[in-house]
A and B are shown apart, each in its own frame.
Chain A
């Protein structure tokens, strides 16, 4: 391919510019977070005396330990169950081709584009009547339901492409459907399952609407919902608010940087299929 020197140069410049715009908000949060607590810093200016202690104070003020634990519990409640249920249904619809599966599949597809705001009001009353308001179950159970369309859709897309011989030879060895699923298909589906897990983790961790409507106590919310409360509580102290915001977005950031290749792949595939 003939690439002009100038073209390559413009490309690099454009990329650097894009990255600068992407990083600017993080930089601004960071610099502001280092100003003395209680001041009102203007623009991007490195403070004369950087207050690294603000992060420690924000960690305590935001009750980060409890928040991390709460978000982890919620993720542990949502992700494994969603994966198991989604994989089973995807297997039955995509591979076993259950009678009537197409219709059920269509029913699930209908929910793919559902805005959560559409069901939040009845969900509130439903959760209240179940006596689950202000518990983590109020976030966990609805999220599993709300993630079902995507999980089923995603896993079906994987199982539809699995060759039938696989199952045939296993059946000849006398395996029943469950053994077939557990021993042959789940191991083969691991790449699809781990991508799904990453996406579900991210969506759960960052879920805001359900958290603020269904759970009042920030310490029982997701990270995102807790950040909303933190903003309400520490809005007068801008450096502290910025430090807290940075702390609250750190966990996903760290996990992203560690697993970035999987993340990018999962997100790209996720949006292509969804």
Chain B
């Protein structure tokens, strides 16, 4: 008897009492915290978003005007655009590069080096993002290591203050995010690869498939779920980015690195446009769900 078919009967008979009140007593404390500190604030965010309020005095009902502002005020709308541009760096680079690296090191997975790498590549996941921001601001400064290396490589022509240049500030912030997320994606994909049945590869090789064909027709499809996970985690990290930008650029130069998270913080607490901040917060929350759901759906669908 498999556990699956076994546990339905007792759950339906013996534990009947526990399915009602007793069971609910187990859920209630968690639900209470969740309600007070998440559901209620979400509702309030929505409510604030319909008012013009400076956070101190009385408020005025303005309907959906704050949402209009989010999509028409270039400062606000650009922050959303910037967040989507960050996805390229936070998601595309770690996933694509992670796939390539994982596929390469899979072949030496048992070596000592690979074991050490597992530890090292995880370090960025463990430290505070704030520390990553401080370290990278220093690396990317005009006298920083990045420019030092470029000069050594004979590329002194491209050296610049990466975080202070209109053209490179956003990509530079993106690279910090990529640095943080690359290790996680690589290791996730590597773990997924170890689960692929080696027989699949042997069969493909008998058919005369080269490494590239193998990669495209076996590795990538088998990793569908892991890739979806990487994409979800990194897309959310990009859309909801705050710590890195707050430390590295504060949204500058000239708003080129302003992201919704930071904009909400500024609007709500320094400019005291709580209504506008809340409208942007609602848009951000919906965007995150709108991005995460299809990816999950795609992964589940493909898994079957």
Contact = CB atoms under 8 A, between A and B. Distances in A.
Interface of A: 1, 3, 7-8, 10-12, 14-16, 18-19, 21-26, 28-29, 32, 40, 42-44, 85-86, 88-89, 91-93, 95-99, 101, 104, 107-108, 110-111, 113-126, 141-142, 144-146, 148-149, 151-152, 161-165, 167-168, 171, 177, 181, 202, 205-206, 208-209, 213, 223-224, 227-228, 231, 238, 241-242, 245, 248-249, 252-253, 256-257, 260, 263-264, 267-268, 271-272, 274
Interface stretch (B64-72, B84-92, B160-168, B182-190): B182-190
Contacts of B247: 228, 231
Contacts of B130: 206, 208, 224, 227-228, 231
Contact of B268 (A1, A107, A120): A120
Contact of B131 (A18, A117, A249, A260): A249
A267 B243 contact: no
Contacts of B58: none
Contacts of A148: 30, 33-34, 38
Contact of B145 (A12, A24, A256): A24
A18 B40 contact: no
A224 to B, nearest CB: 4
Contacts, number: 328
Nearest to A99: B19
Given A115-B261, A268-B191, 5 more contacts: A26-B135, A28-B139, A98-B24, A117-B260, A264-B119
B148 interface: yes
Given A12-B108, A256-B122, A248 B138 contact: no
Contacts of B198: 1
27 contacts: A1-B201, A8-B108, A22-B183, A23-B123, A25-B135, A25-B179, A29-B135, A43-B143, A89-B26, A92-B24, A98-B20, A104-B31, A111-B34, A113-B232, A115-B284, A120-B268, A148-B33, A163-B3, A206-B128, A208-B242, A208-B243, A209-B242, A227-B130, A245-B135, A248-B131, A268-B187, A271-B230
A7 B107 contact: yes
Nearest to A163: B3
B204 interface: no
B101 interface: yes
Interface of B: 3, 6-11, 14-15, 17-20, 22-24, 26-27, 29-31, 33-42, 44-45, 48, 55, 101, 104-105, 107-108, 111, 113-114, 116-132, 134-136, 138-139, 143-145, 147-148, 179, 182-184, 186-188, 191, 198, 201, 225-226, 229-230, 232-233, 236, 239-240, 242-243, 246-247, 260-261, 264-265, 268-269, 274, 277-278, 281-282, 284-285, 288-289, 292
Contacts of B147: 43
A98 B23 contact: yes
B188 A165 contact: no
Nearest to B108: A11
A164 B22 contact: no
Nearest to B46: A122
B192 to A, nearest CB: 9
A264 B186 CA distance: 12
A227 B134 contact: yes
A122 B260 contact: no
Contact of B27 (A101, A242, A256): A101
Contact of A12 (B3, B113, B148, B265): B113
6 nearest CB pairs, A to B: A145-B37, A164-B7, A115-B240, A98-B23, A122-B44, A92-B26
B145 A115 contact: no
A18 B201 CA distance: 27
B268 A121 contact: yes
B14 A171 contact: yes
A256 B242 contact: no
Tell me which of B36, B126, B284 has the highest count of chain A C-beta atoms within 10 A of its own C-beta: B126
Contact of A149 (B7, B20, B26, B34): B34
A257 B127 CA distance: 12
A72 B130 CA distance: 18
A19 B120 contact: yes
B23 A177 contact: yes
Given A98-B19, A145-B33, A257-B119, A117 B281 contact: yes
A116 B26 contact: no
A208 B282 CA distance: 21
Contacts of A142: 37
Contacts of B143: 40, 42-43
A181 B293 CA distance: 33
Contact of B11 (A43, A96, A228, A263): A96
Given A22-B183, A167-B14, A119 B7 contact: no
B262 to A, nearest CB: 8
A29 B138 contact: yes
Nearest to A205: B128
A253 B64 CA distance: 47
A26 B136 CA distance: 9
Contacts of A152: 30
Nearest to B126: A256
A88 B145 contact: no
Contacts of A177: 15, 17-18, 22-23, 26
Given A44-B145, A98-B24, A122-B44, A113 B8 contact: no
